[in-house]
């Protein structure tokens, strides 16, 4: 068991929070994470204890959230998968800046896929991890095997980044039809390209009709493991 403020506030054994990924998360996955000692989440994460994740976190917004009574902050860097911040600050720097500015505990989000990355975030002030991409490659995740294989077989230098929502969002994706077409549209000045169906791409594994969006550290994931194994490994990075 690890003892720190994240564990104390949430009443969990390991400072580990599973991201509530749309379509991807199932009751089985959330339960497996919780059974492993972390916090499994199904749906939106607000309750008696408030974990606040700003889509575009800044030191100012972190201080404002702390003043508003938030219990735990999530420091999200551009290393994350999904709709990533347009700002180019990476997870480690973002975590360091926010942890230095507030007195409440901070969870690092973006690229925390193994013990080494967890340790790196702990060194700059994180007291736990907020994790998404790593759980796509879990045995309990209901994403299609094609989705998981696609992530495992895509090299670090193969990932591409597209911009959409008028420049408000960026997505890091494996290099397939919809993502490539969106990048081409970006080059023409279109910041509102089609990203296809997230449901079809990530849940069903149909790379011709949707995108597969991942963390910049996805290539460090080498196997499909149980949620318990994933939680145990990453939690070691925050052990006292």
Whether 234 contacts 129, CB under 8 Å = yes
In this prediction, what percent of the chain has a pLDDT beyond 90?
78
Please list the rounded mean pLDDT of every run of 10 residues in the chain (240 residues).
86 90 83 93 69 91 95 95 86 98 97 97 97 96 96 96 90 96 97 93 94 96 96 92
Of 229, 224, 221, the C-alpha closest to 33 is 229
| pTM of the complete model | 0.84
Residue length of the chain:
240
pLDDT tens figures, 90-118:
999 999 999 999 999 999 999 999 999 99
Please report how the helices 27-35 and 227-235 are oriented relative to each other, as an axis angle in degrees rounded to 10: 40
- What are the residue ranges of helices labelled H in the chain? 5-10, 27-35, 59-67, 91-101, 115-123, 133-136, 145-153, 177-187, 198, 227-235
- Spell out the domains of the chain, with CATH numbers in brackets: 5-139+222-238 (3.20.20.70), 160-213 (no CATH)
Q: What is the pLDDT of residues 134-164, one digit of tens each?
A: 999 999 999 999 999 999 999 999 999 999 9
């Amino acid at each position: 068991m690890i003892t720190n403020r994240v564990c104390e506030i949430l009443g969990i054994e390991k400072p580990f929070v599973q991201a509530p990924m749309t379509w991807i998360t199932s009751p089985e996955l959330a339960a497996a994470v919780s059974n492993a000692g972390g916090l499994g989440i199904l749906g939106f994460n607000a309750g008696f204890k408030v974990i606040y994740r700003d889509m575009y976190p800044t030191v100012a917004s972190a201080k404002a959230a702390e003043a508003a009574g938030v219990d735990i902050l999530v420091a999200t860097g551009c290393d994350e998968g999904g709709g990533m911040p347009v700002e180019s600050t990476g997870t480690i720097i973002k975590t360091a800046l926010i942890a230095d500015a507030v007195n409440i505990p901070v969870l690092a989000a973006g690229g925390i896929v193994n013990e080494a990355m967890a340790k790196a975030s702990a060194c700059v002030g994180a007291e736990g991890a907020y994790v998404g991409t790593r759980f796509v490659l879990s045995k309990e995740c209901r994403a299609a095997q094609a989705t998981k294989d696609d992530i495992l077989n895509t090299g670090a230098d193969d990932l591409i980044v597209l911009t959409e929502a008028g420049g408000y969002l960026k997505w890091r994706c494996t290099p397939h039809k919809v993502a490539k077409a969106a990048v081409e549209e970006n080059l023409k000045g279109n910041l509102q390209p089609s990203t296809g169906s997230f449901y079809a791409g990530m849940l069903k594994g149909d790379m011709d009709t949707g995108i597969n969006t991942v963390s910049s550290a996805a290539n460090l994931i080498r196997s499909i493991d149980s949620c318990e194994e994933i939680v145990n490994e990453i939690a070691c990075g925050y052990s006292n």
